[in-house]
A = this chain, B = another copy of it.
Amino acid sequence: MFTFNKKPRDITNRAPERELGFGRIITTTSRMMNPDGRFNVERQRTSVWDNTYFNLVTMPWWQFFILTLAAFVSMNCLFALLYCAIGVEHLSGIEPDGFLHNFTQAYFFSSQTLTTVGYGHISPGGLAANMAASFESFLGLLSFALVSGLLYGRFSRQRAKIVFSENLLVSPYKDGRGLMFRMGNARRSEIIEAEVQVIMAINQMSAEGVLERKFFALDLELNRISFFSLSWTIVHPLGESSPVSGFSPEELQDANAEFMVLVKGMDEANHQLVHARHSYVGEEIIWNARFLPIIGRNDKGIAQVFIPKVGAYEVLN
């Protein structure tokens, strides 16, 4: 069995910027992490194929569908041109006519070959047409095998959907105040052994008078739960030891403060590791507000959670 972490990862002895794999990056003017958790970096690639698989399994479903359809149409067009070049008179069942007619008929024959539907009212005759058709049907099956593989690749990436509140709140917490955000689990499957970490990045003047980007790992009231079923409010107590305490709302914005949230866990649906990330910047902090409750109980006494309201809050005065 895999071990289970007993304590939160001790990051006190580690430079928190290490956590993000950023080296000696100096002050930035843009966010380092996009709200959706992707790092805000630009990579000069080594080859056009570098990200092909990654892109194919991460693009939205409609985009994947369009792309597949476009590939299908393109391949048909190419083969239709090839059949026209060979001569459509070698496709028995087609009456040769003008190019457009020939191309259209050849296109339909190509489509019937690529998908292996092969009605047979058009069929190849002669060596060249037969060879082209044989190769096309081979290619067709191979392509759909490829699509099968990609589809499973997409499915196996299906992962926990963690919904984050849009804002960080500064709320009353115990005797003082806490910096809080809330996450909801939008799927029916549990996230097991969920663990969260919050890193603040901020521009600060160093002792030598140089403006530097500093990183702080924020202490959390609770950074780990065994089952993340419903919602979870993460609290960083704004005590004296908090690196956030000294700042006014304006100062946080001026210093280009960014709060990066890293969530880890295991998705019960496919038993795969889950890594969700989120980022809040200074202007997304609401001072002196409180999250509205989203866990209720239905009339059968069963716990109920309103995921779409995960960011709902009320301002206090």
Contact = CB atoms under 8 A, between A and B. Distances in A.
Interface string A93-132: 0000000000010011001110111111111100100100
A312 B124 CA distance: 56
Contact of A149 (B10, B42, B152, B186): B152
Contact of A134 (B42, B76, B150): B76
A235 B271 CA distance: 28
A148 B138 contact: no
B142 A188 contact: no
Nearest to A116: B117
Number of this chain's copies in the complex? 4
Nearest to A4: B9
Given A186-B50, A307-B43, A225 B21 contact: yes
Contact of A92 (B121, B158, B189, B272): B121
Given A10-B6, A302-B41, A194 B158 contact: no
Given A28-B301, A117-B118, A307-B45, A144 B146 contact: no
11 contacts: A21-B225, A28-B303, A46-B161, A54-B187, A54-B269, A57-B270, A68-B142, A72-B138, A108-B130, A115-B141, A149-B151
